Structures are given as C-alpha cells and as structure tokens.
Amino acid sequence: MCLILLENKKLRKWLLQVLLVLTPCVAYAQQMRVEDFMEVKRSVLGEDVVTDNNMAILDLYTQDADFEFSAQGMAVQATPAEGYISVSMPHKSTSLTINHPAYGKLVWKVPVKYLKRKHHYRAMLFTAGGKEEFKVKRQWVVVYTSPKTTIITIDSTTYRTMDGMIQAYLPVGNHTYKIESPFYHTQEGEITLTESERCNVEVYLNPFYSYLEVITFLPKAKISIDGKVVGEKRAGSGRIMPGDHLVEVFQNNKKIYQDTVHLLPSQRKVLDFSQLTDSLGNDLLMSLQNAQSSKQEVTNQHPDTLHITAFDADSEIWVNREKVGSNQATVVLEPGVHAISSRKGNYESQTQYISVQGGENQLVKLPTPYASYGWVNVSANVIDAEVYVDNEFVGITPCILNQLPTNRKYTIEVRKDGYRSVEKRVKPVGNELITVQVNLKQK
C-alpha cells in the first residue's frame, strides 16, 4: 500500500513537471492566431500576383518581425515586404509552424486540403498586441508629380508612376526621396510619416528646358532650327536644351536669314520676323519675352469656430484640458495651437493638436479610447478612390481608418468615377490593424 502511495506521489510530481513545461507553450500559442485566409489572383495594383512553379506562396499580413517559419519538418523561406511577410511553402503543405521569441510557437493548420504550387494565398497574422496600446508601424505616402512622367526613388526603392501618382506603404519615420524626369531639374527631399494619417507629397519639378518660337508672315517660309525644318511661316522648337542653336529661314529654297540664338535655362524666346522679306531680311525684328509671376499669400489672424463630435454619445469632450461638453460641442478658439481629446470612464483618446490661424469653421471628430477600437488599412489599384464607411465619406485610397469601434461590422465601399464600386464587410479587431485590398474594374 505504501509502495502504491509512493508511486502515486512520484506520478503526481511527474505530471506536475510536465504541466509546468507545457503551460508556457499553451500560453504562447494563444498569443498568435491566423485568420482571414484566402487565395488571391491579382495584386492591389490590378496585376497578376507572383507565383512559383514549385512552391505555394503565402502572404502573412503583420506589423511584427522576427518570425521563423517551418513546414513539413523543414525551415521555409520568408521575405519581408511592405506590411506583410511572404512565405514560400512546399507543394501540398497542410500546416505551418510559426515561432517568435516573444509570442512563442503556433502550429497553424491551413483551412483547405493543402496549399498548391503555382498558387498565391494571403492571411492575417495577429499577435498578442492587446496588452499594450496598438501603434501604427507603417503608413501610406502618396506622391503627386508634375510632370506626370517621372522616376521616383524613396530610400533605395524605385517606383513607377501611375498617371503622375504613386502610393507606397512604408515604416513610420523619415524617408528620403528623389524625383527625376527628362528636361527637368531633379528634386530631392525627405518624407516624415506619422501614425495619425497618410502623407501627401506634391512635387512640381522646375523645367530646365528652353523653348524657341519663330514667326514670319511669309506663307511658304521654311523655318529650320539646328539644321532641322520644324515648320513653315510660324513654328516652335519644342523642348530643347539651353545653349546655342542655329536658326535659318528659307524662302523658295533661298536662305534669307541665319543666326545663332543663345537660350538660357527655362527661357522662352520668340523671334518675330513680321516684316521679314526675301531681300535678305533688311527689316528684321527680334524680341525676347519672359513672363514671371509672383503670388502673395495673406493670412487672416482671426478665431476659428470648431464643431467637435465625439465618436460615442457618452464620451466627454476636452479642449486644452477643460471639459466643454459631451458627444458634441461648438467652441470658438483664438489663433494658436489647441489640444483636443475625448474621455470615457478611465480612458482618454489620443490628443489632437489643432492649429487656428485663419478664421475658419473646422469640423473635428474624436475617437474612442484605444481599448475598444481597431484600425483598417484600405488600398486599391486606383489612387485617390473615395472610401466610404456605412455610406459616410471618410477618405481616399490608400488610407488607414483609425479607431473604429469593434462592437459591430462596417460596410466599406470604394468608389471612383469610371469604375465599378466595390464593397467589403469588415469587423475591426480590437487594438489591431486589418487589411482591405480592392481591385476596381472599369465600367
């Protein structure tokens, strides 16, 4: 009997040790989850997605890093990208093992029979970010350029323009850019991305090309610039480089004028031969036209009227740390910078800083505290398509919808003139970022 009790004690001790070893694994597993699995055939830019003849490709959308992946008992290649990790998995994989130094280990069984080679999939990889306030780690930048045909390099990545626009999803912080185009001065600068909203960058390149126009009233006078006939009677050079250029005028195959014209960078010069005859141009008239304009900006230093709305009906509105109302409030603020936030129970929203300087009416919408909202990253194959949440306009693509309450589902609709609208039903995940990508098709 004593022997049995001793063996039971040993057994209990052994079981306790096993439980102590297994307990961290169970807790770790709960810190990661994979959801919203689907197969994709076209990218957000409307292009065919990349496939591999031997492997299945799985894009896991996450803002975290330092993951290790294995499938079928072997490590698999994982390539970080803009907002996701692209994992190459063997053909007919049925599960994926995910390891992380902070979140532990998760064995995820794919929700289909197996993953197939030559196919591209995507899913959301969530981690235990709920213990701390969620922070946006990446943000959208949209660059608009004039002219529309430019080469844009941000950091070390080159982007192709889409009708004078590009969109990029980059880490929050500072990034360098360079924009180039033939016949224009290259422009370089720095972009600062913040958590709060997407960054719009408008760049107008200064031309360094010149332009030469020749005017005559002779109906058949041929005008030649640098040995090339550009027209008759009245003709222009188009974009040409600054410097010296040979101008010749022919009438009845007879050269009646010849001279070298010097053009400065960005200069437009007009040679007006209104009185030119075929007697070797005795009445030659030359004129130079340069147009300059200046713009003077005047700022009116008057108070602003702010109409402030809190997202929740029972949220208090605070301006400069003073309560001004609940749910909705209208205040008049003097020029300067003012702090605005909302409070609900023991939680306070992130403070917004509003600049007052022009005597305007401003509409301000305040979020709920971070514990009850999520973020939705909306992008499309068309830049600046309108984004609506439950039929209310909230922004243009690409954008991150901040602080949506998580207690219900939303209808996100993306619209653009000339394209068919696309709707998605989304329920935000508390303290997380989920991704919505749509492909708009022309009507």
What residues contact 60, with CB distance under 8 A and at least 6 apart?
A: 34, 67, 84, 85, 86, 87, 122, 123, 124, 125
What tens digit of pLDDT does each residue of 401-410 get?
A: 887 877 788 9
Give span(s): CATH 2.60.40.1120, the chain.
Answer: 304-368, 371-438
Bridge partners of residue 190, in order along the sequence: 176
Q: What is the pLDDT of residue 23?
A: 42
Q: Quick one: pLDDT at residue 27? A: 40
Burial of 371 (0-12, 13-18, 19+ CB in 10 A): middle
**Could you say which architecture CATH assigns to the domain 211-273?**
Sandwich (2.60)
pLDDT tens-digit map of 34-63: 988 999 887 655 567 788 999 999 999 988
For the domain made up of 371-438, give the CATH fold.
Immunoglobulin-like (2.60.40)
Where are the domain boundaries for CATH 2.60.40.10 in the chain? 138-204, 211-273
pLDDT at 403: 73
Q: Hey, what CATH topology would domain 29-129 get?
A: Immunoglobulin-like (2.60.40)
Position 49 scores a pLDDT of: 79
Return the DSSP state at 43.
Answer: -
Class of domain 138-204: mainly beta
Burial class of residue 192, CB neighbours in 10 A (0-12, 13-18, 19+): exposed
CB 440 within 8 A of CB 413: no
Q: Domain 304-368 falls in which CATH fold?
A: Immunoglobulin-like (2.60.40)
Positions in the chain whose pLDDT score sits under 70:
1-30, 43-47, 129-133, 162, 273-301, 346-351, 353, 358, 367-373, 431
Question: What are 219-277's pLDDT values in tens digits?
Answer: 778 889 999 998 888 888 887 888 888 988 888 888 878 888 888 777 778 887 655 44
